Amino acid sequence: MQRHLISAADLTRDDAVLILDTAEEMARVADRPIKKLPTLRGRTVVNLFFEDSTRTRISFEAAEKRLSADVINFTAKGSSVSKGESLKDTAQTLEAMGVDAVVIRHGASGAPYRLANSGWIDAAVINAGDGTHQHPTQALLDAFTMRRRLVGRDAGIGQDLAGKRITIVGDILHGRVARSNVDLLHTLGAEVTLVAPPTLVPVGVETWPCEVSYDLDSTLPKSDAVMMLRVQRERMNAAFFPTEREYSRRYGLDADRMARMPEHAIVMHPGPMVRGMEITAEVADSDRCTAIEQVANGVSIRMAVLYLLLGGNEPAVSHTRIEEK
Amino acid sequence: MDRQQDTQASDARPVLEGPDIARVLTRIAHEIVERAKGADDVVLLGIPTRGVFLAQRLAAKLEEITERKISLGSLDITMYRDDLRMHPPRALARTEIPGDGIDGRLVILVDDVLFSGRTIRAALDALNDIGRPRAVQLAVLVDRGHRELPIRADYVGKNIPTSLRETVKVMLAEEDGRDTVLLGAKQTSQ
């Protein structure tokens, strides 16, 4: 029995729809005077962040607190990790403290998988982003935002994203967000097109369940949602394109390009946005841009995941993953 | 699985039929108007799944009697259950609080069957996080006894004395295609 959330690819369609439906109910808690549910009272969740992150950590923390879990924040900086402690020892320390779930962000792809499958700990492991691999809760909150905007809040209950055309633009090579989104959106029946300069498309992309294009302008009129990804300067060790200006002219979303999208289409951005680079301020501030909504939806999605993994005596999400040999 | 359900259906006998349910709800609506002196500040909150449909029907009857709009909503108690840790997580149902809130109002919780009283305990906890009603009352279609908490209903459709080996199944047209209350024997295998 699996009780972890490591990769968006592990989720079946029914699991994903259950998480989205649960998040829809969780979202209503935010409108109440007391934004708290007693559901995870007495459960301890550790936010184990080996990589810098503000919004994901705060989002998880808000979700955990709204469900009444006890929250411990652990950042690698200034901790025993900077003194040379291994992941195994850190994990076993947490286990000894009686932790029920570990939310982990790690620079190395596969670290959450290792933690979940090594037998070091009994706690549920939730991947909050590992290297260039996966960021499943981001993909879930993006899918949730799309379903709310493109299908409808109430009309969307029980529905997937069948037939919706999603375009993901930007740094696919370094982006765990793109990979998680491709996996989940494919599971939910959407058609995904990746748009990026050839240098920012990973090797092996032809095995992904999506299309790849190098031309943004021809893709925009056929999109129900356009997701702009940040060009991750901190991961750029080599020159992937001549200048930022050139990137911005070919792959940036400005008002002219937005006008070419269908009337109902939305612009998404997982944040943090670099205004003037992949998105202009005019687009970022328009009604069609869901960046702020995505942040709010992130808390609802993380509440749903935490509830479904920790709320009962066993998880409600049934994974179909291959065991480590 | 299917066979088991068939046996259960054939063993079960109806204790309330469609017209009885309609009459019972009419009576409860009149009782509410009488006790609440006109039902001015009443908010009906149905507990999913079937409590919601009963609350809708009660609201329609109250509107007929008082010729006023009745505040109607639903209250999902899943997250407040005391047995969450004993089962896999359940799917959540809708909580819909009327726009003008419940503060200072008379909230009437509506459910299909009153049994252990634990659902109502959870509902009271849930209400506590939503607002502060003037008073809370409880209306149920069937009271089958066997309370495990000091809770009672203010409006009861029908008292049905049962043994713990029996099951009470409320079926409503909105959810199950027909109106009836069935009393059956519990599956021994479960």
Q: What is the pLDDT of residues A254-270, one digit of tens each?
A: 999 999 999 999 999 99
pLDDT, residue B190, reads 44
The model's confidence at residue A322, banded by pLDDT at 50, 70 and 90, is very low
* Span A74-89, average pLDDT: 79
Domain assignment present for A319:
no
* Span B161-169, average pLDDT: 93
Separation of alpha carbons A68 and A83, rounded Å = 32
Q: What range defines the domain where residue B165 resides?
A: 14-185
Q: Are strands A225-228 and A165-169 parallel, antiparallel or unpaired?
A: parallel
Q: List, in sequence order, the alpha helices (H) in B74-153.
A: 118-130
* Span A235-243, average pLDDT: 73
Within 10 angstroms of residue A285's Cβ, the number of other Cβ atoms is: 11
Structure-derived torsion over alpha carbons of residues A122, A123, A124, A129, reported in degrees to the nearest 10:
-110
For residue A118, is pLDDT > 60?
A: yes
Phi then psi for residue A97, to 5 deg, are: -85, 0
Report helix, strand or coil for A105.
Answer: strand
**Minimal Cα–Cα distance from B16 to chain A, Å?**
33
Same structural domain, A131 and A109: yes
Same structural domain, A143 and A129: no
Within 10 angstroms of residue A301's Cβ, the number of other Cβ atoms is: 29
For residue A325, is pLDDT > 80?
A: no
**Contact residues, B window 145-174, toward A, CB-based 8 Å cutoff:** none
Residue A65 assigned as binding residue: no
How many structural domains does chain B have? 1
Same structural domain, A141 and A74: no
- Closest alpha carbon to A128 in A115, A117, A118, A144: A115
Domain assignment present for A317:
no
Same structural domain, A117 and A168: no
Residue A232 assigned as binding residue: no
Same structural domain, A107 and A185: no
Same structural domain, A222 and A282: yes
Non-local (6+) Cβ contacts of B152 within 8 A are B138
The answer to whether the CB atoms of B86 and A313 lie below 8 A apart is yes
Chain B residue numbers touching A36 (CB-CB < 8 A) = 129
* CATH classification of the domain holding B47: 3.40.50.2020
Q: List, in sequence order, the alpha helices (H) in chain A.
A: 13-29, 55-66, 87-96, 111-117, 136-146, 176-187, 216-219, 244-251, 255-259, 281-284, 291-310
Q: What is the pLDDT of residues A283-299, one digit of tens each?
A: 999 999 999 999 999 99
pLDDT, residue B187, reads 73
Chain B nearest-CA residue for A310: B89
Chain A nearest-CA residue for B103: A33
**Contact residues, B window 7-66, toward A, CB-based 8 Å cutoff:** none
pLDDT, residue A33, reads 83
Separation of alpha carbons B113 and B145, rounded Å = 10
Query: Chain A within 8 Å of B124 (Cβ-Cβ)?
Result: no
Give me the amino acid identity at A148.
R
For residue A84, is pLDDT > 80?
A: no
The answer to whether the CB atoms of B130 and A32 lie below 8 A apart is yes
**Minimal Cα–Cα distance from A304 to chain B, Å?**
10
Domain assignment present for B28:
yes
If you compute the radius of gyration of chain A from its CA atoms, what whole number of angstroms results?
Answer: 19
* CATH classification of the domain holding A110: 3.40.50.1370
- Of all residues in chain B, the percent with pLDDT exceeding 70 is 93
Residue B69 Cα to chain centre, angstroms: 21
Q: Is A94 exposed, middle or buried (0-12, 13-18, 19+ CB in 10 A)?
A: buried
pTM, to two decimals: 0.91
Non-local (6+) Cβ contacts of A154 within 8 A are none
DSSP assignment, residue A20?
A: H
For residue B68, is pLDDT > 70?
A: yes
How many structural domains does chain A have? 2
Chain B residue numbers touching A38 (CB-CB < 8 A) = 79-80, 125
Q: What is the pLDDT of residues A147-182, one digit of tens each?
A: 999 999 999 999 999 999 999 999 999 889 999 999
For residue B3, is pLDDT > 70?
A: no
B158 vs A139, A213, A293, B108, B153, CA distance in Å?
A: 50, 67, 48, 17, 11
A237-272 burial: b if 16+ Cβ within 10 Å, else e: eeebbeeeeebbeebbbeeebbeebeeebbbbbbee
pLDDT, residue A320, reads 46
pLDDT, residue A242, reads 83
Query: Chain B within 8 Å of A68 (Cβ-Cβ)?
Result: no
Tokens of A163: 């037939």
Domain assignment present for B3:
no
Non-local (6+) Cβ contacts of A203 within 8 A are none
Domain assignment present for A86:
yes
For residue B130, is pLDDT > 80?
A: yes
pLDDT, residue A318, reads 59
Q: What range defines the domain where residue A80 resides?
A: 8-135+295-310
pLDDT, residue B188, reads 62
Query: Chain B within 8 Å of A316 (Cβ-Cβ)?
Result: yes
Same structural domain, A140 and A289: yes
Report helix, strand or coil for A225.
Answer: strand
Give me the amino acid identity at A255.
A
Output the CA angle A64-A65-A67, nearest 5 degrees. 70
The model's confidence at residue A323, banded by pLDDT at 50, 70 and 90, is very low
Average pLDDT, rounded, for chain B: 91
